[in-house]
Structure 1
Amino acid sequence: MKAYLVGGAVRDQLLGLPVRERDWVVVGETPEAMLARGFKPVGKDFPVFLHPGTREEYALARTERKTAPGYHGFSVHAAPDVTLEDDLRRRDLTLNAMAMDAEGRLIDPYGGRQDLGARRLRHVSPAFSEDPVRILRLARFAARFAGLGFRVAEETQALARAMVAGGEVDALVPERVFAELSKALAEAQPSVFLRVLRDCGALARLFPELEALFGVPQPPRHHPEIDTGLHCLMVLDQAARLSPDPAVRFAALTHDLGKALTDPAGWPRHRGHERLGLPALARLCDRLKVPNGYRRLAEKVMRYHGHAHRALELRPGTLVDLLLRLDAFRQQDALAPFLLACEADARGRLGLEARPYPQADWLRVVHRAASSVPVADLLAAGYRGERLGQAIRAERIRQVRALARVA
């Protein structure tokens, strides 16, 4: 059986990166022969099998032919006469179109190793334009390898623009778009994903709420970067430095959607943008079928990030009410992701990336103090129902007020 290590495992090995998973292509075999060797079939659309020992995936070499718009519109041909070069030609980028044989010899018919050296993301063939998912993958790989100096080849970016102009990305289903976004959010520089999409016009088609932020000015005193779209990309990268949680990063990215919806006559100020952004966030989440956990955090950050920034100035009662709206008393772990997204917002500004954010420390202290109210004592004193809620709030305010006097 002629089996070749392919794709990301070869790429990452050549880059000196950890190999997370190993995929194989088998040449010259049939599904019946694979089953006879003890391989277990797992592929739905084309023949893929699990190795009986390693459980790694082995796919029969195959070619694809475009039959309809979108990324489902393909017919697959997998047969013993399909060569390794045929299989590699259908792949998206040259750095993913290399293989190694059993002796570790590199098979590189499309210049992947040269593109690795040049730090270039380049499509293998014009067939790239047949699958709109490849635009999302291109942007995601740009984000993954930005720290190594990789850039999208001009000819590949031009091809992506032509695909967008031809309406290919309009065929993408929401679940796949969010799946690629969530993977991109996990990268070290997730903003690059959105920059690449914007450069080819796909951001306006897939994420119009984000595209609308570019060109919207902000007060230079608070936002030296001025442009709201740039600010949100900077906030996203700051969130990536502060937290590995993709929900925090999503909330950081979307927190200012309302600034595109304020009255331009009042720009660069954006009064009420927190409230105005909520319907836009709801549309984005509904369209992409964003998980509820992401959505709830994003709504809290959008509504209350301004309160967090003013935490050192707020009265005890306002602080207690803020924590109550954040559900921080009922869910003790609800405050941390909110504060991380708010800190990212404060630091996602040109020249202010390293400034401290004492508001987060203060809100943590306030939360601990307000959470220490002895509810059992109030119950023992006969408080019930609405009167109990009022008594708890009053005691929390008293605790915070005492804390403020000590501070």
Structure 2
Amino acid sequence: MSYQTYKVGGAVRDELLGKEVKDIDWVIVGATPNLLLSEGYLQIGKDFPVFLHPKTKEEYALARTERKHGHGYSGFEVFATPDVTLEEDLLRRDLTINAMAMDEQGQIIDPYGGRQDLDNRILRHVSDAFEEDPLRVLRLARFYARFYKEGFTIAEETKTLVHKMIESGELSHLVAERIWLETHKALQEQHGIQYFIVLHELGALKVIFPALEQFFTDSNRNQLDKMFDVVSLAIEQGAAMHIIVALLLSVFEEPKDIQNFAMQYRLSIQEKVMAEKLKQWGHWFDDISQDAESWLDLLLGLDAFRKPEQLMDFLQCSEFLAEISGRKKFFLNQKECLVKVYQKLVMIDVKPLIKNVSPKEIPSVIKAKRLAVIELLIKD
């Protein structure tokens, strides 16, 4: 049995855009799982047949079609038989710019006008099957953020389809983990904030992130713009994801809002903790106290003596906030002082301090020593 192999999806799109191709997706038309296994491919797909190439270890999927039989992104029945055509496989994809293929001779197969939409900078759904998978709304927003700089817009008929999905309640079937996974991907894009902005414009943010939707009002616009500015700065500077997320959630006014958000979307412990610490202590640099106890409270509140990385992460978040507020120079001076205090405190040898002290008195003795060290340093 002979079969054909095609490069598909994002690799073709990015090659036509002149961008670096990072991951290549391959589709095989006209083969069976047994045939590929006999040629040394290793099957790794559970929901549908995906194989690792015996030499390159790249992923190859059998051409397939899908039939909706439930709600959400997982309610699909998959058919991957040798008679499934390339055109049928491309038809199930989300956007026309992702529904092109390239054969082994480098010829482009473009049955749904992807190349024209690429030239015209338009994000357009391939077929009405788009509305069967609510995850595609998030992918649409993510691609909008990715290609924002290139001036891509969303086709009017695709906007209409998204509105239909919202009205039907399909978006409510998205599970938290998948929402947050797509959001992570969006926050890795240079213009990641456009993901939230376009979801709001499409009317989808109120379903997906209702806690963020409330800030898209005139009365909250300054708060929202400040958050978008600092998140964009953190993305531009290559900050870690938990830093970006903490800055994103800094728009909330109450710690309980962060806790509820973290619980709803299954945030990692690191993301949740950093967001909470930033909310609790983020204003410390606004009006620095000359009371030594305030300095110690901050370090203890950040759990800096057990987890120094939390102090460093907090300082990074605070620096981004100071920069967009025009207070970076002032902040850097105070940061230097705080780090100096911290370094002196961790060098304290507690053994001589507690040598002849009862266990009950140990915490107060250590605290008194720390306060004395801080007092000396901040006066200087």
Provide closer, same or farther for how the CA distance between residues 114 and 382 of structure 1 changes in structure 2, counting only shifts above 3 A: farther
Provide closer, same or farther for how the CA distance between residues 337 and 154 of structure 1 changes in structure 2, counting only shifts above 3 A: farther
Moved more, 113-122 or 295-304: 113-122
Check conservation: 1:10, 1:100, Cα contact below 8 A: yes
Cross-structure match for 1:299: 276
1:254, distance to aligned residue in structure 2 (A): 0.7
- In structure 1, runs of 5+ residues without a counterpart are 219-225, 259-276
Cross-structure match for 2:125: 123
Describe the superposition over 1:207-247 as per-residue Cα deviations: whole angstroms up to 9, x where unpaired.
121112222636xxxxxxx5323332222212223443111
1:356, distance to aligned residue in structure 2 (A): 6.3
1:355, distance to aligned residue in structure 2 (A): 7.2
Provide closer, same or farther for how the CA distance between residues 40 and 390 of structure 1 changes in structure 2, counting only shifts above 3 A: same
Distance 1:315 1:171 in 2: 52
1:160, distance to aligned residue in structure 2 (A): 1.6
Match of 1:249 among 227, 244, 247: 244
Describe the superposition over 1:81-123 as per-residue Cα deviations: whole angstroms up to 9, x where unpaired.
2211111111111221111111222222222222223332222
Check conservation: 1:94, 1:115, Cα contact below 8 A: yes
One-letter code aligned to 1:212: Q
Provide closer, same or farther for how the CA distance between residues 11 and 290 of structure 1 changes in structure 2, counting only shifts above 3 A: same
Match of 1:392 among 347, 366, 375: 366
Match of 1:82 among 81, 84, 88: 84
Check conservation: 1:40, 1:52, Cα contact below 8 A: yes
Match of 1:336 among 312, 316, 328: 312
Distance 2:185 2:4 in 1: 32
Check conservation: 1:161, 1:200, Cα contact below 8 A: yes
Name segments (4+ residues, structure 1) moved above 4 Å.
352-356
Distance 1:175 1:23 in 2: 24
Structural mapping, 1:255-334, within 5 Å: 255-258=250-253, 277-311=254-288, 313-334=289-310
Distance 1:94 1:354 in 2: 45
Does 2:349 match 1:374?
Answer: yes
Provide closer, same or farther for how the CA distance between residues 353 and 196 of structure 1 changes in structure 2, counting only shifts above 3 A: farther
One-letter code aligned to 1:375: V
Identity, in percent, stands at 42
1:342, distance to aligned residue in structure 2 (A): 2.3
Cross-structure match for 1:181: 183
Name the SS of the counterpart of 1:395 in structure 2.
helix
Match of 1:11 among 10, 13, 18: 13
Cross-structure match for 2:54: 52
1:386, distance to aligned residue in structure 2 (A): 4.5
One-letter code aligned to 2:87: E
1:167, distance to aligned residue in structure 2 (A): 0.9
Check conservation: 2:285, 2:331, Cα contact below 8 A: no
Distance 1:88 1:340 in 2: 44
1:301, distance to aligned residue in structure 2 (A): 0.8
Distance 2:132 2:329 in 1: 46
Aligned length: 377
Cross-structure match for 1:145: 147
One-letter code aligned to 2:346: S
Describe the superposition over 1:337-369 as per-residue Cα deviations: whole angstroms up to 9, x where unpaired.
1122223333446xx598763343443233223
Check conservation: 2:319, 2:328, Cα contact below 8 A: no
1:318, distance to aligned residue in structure 2 (A): 0.2
Provide closer, same or farther for how the CA distance between residues 324 and 353 of structure 1 changes in structure 2, counting only shifts above 3 A: closer
Check conservation: 1:122, 1:156, Cα contact below 8 A: yes
1:73, distance to aligned residue in structure 2 (A): 1.8
Check conservation: 2:95, 2:123, Cα contact below 8 A: yes
Distance 1:378 1:157 in 2: 68
One-letter code aligned to 1:52: P
Describe the superposition over 1:232-275 as per-residue Cα deviations: whole angstroms up to 9, x where unpaired.
222221222344311111111112312xxxxxxxxxxxxxxxxx
Distance 2:200 2:107 in 1: 39
Cross-structure match for 2:31: 29
Check conservation: 1:211, 1:229, Cα contact below 8 A: no
One-letter code aligned to 1:57: E
Check conservation: 2:290, 2:378, Cα contact below 8 A: no
Distance 1:174 1:211 in 2: 17
Provide closer, same or farther for how the CA distance between residues 385 and 210 of structure 1 changes in structure 2, counting only shifts above 3 A: farther
Check conservation: 2:26, 2:61, Cα contact below 8 A: yes
Describe the superposition over 1:165-203 as per-residue Cα deviations: whole angstroms up to 9, x where unpaired.
221110011111111122222222221111121112221
Does 2:335 match 1:360?
Answer: yes
Cross-structure match for 1:269: none
Distance 1:190 1:254 in 2: 14
Provide closer, same or farther for how the CA distance between residues 23 and 69 of structure 1 changes in structure 2, counting only shifts above 3 A: same
Cross-structure match for 1:274: none
Give RMSD over aligned pairs.
2.2
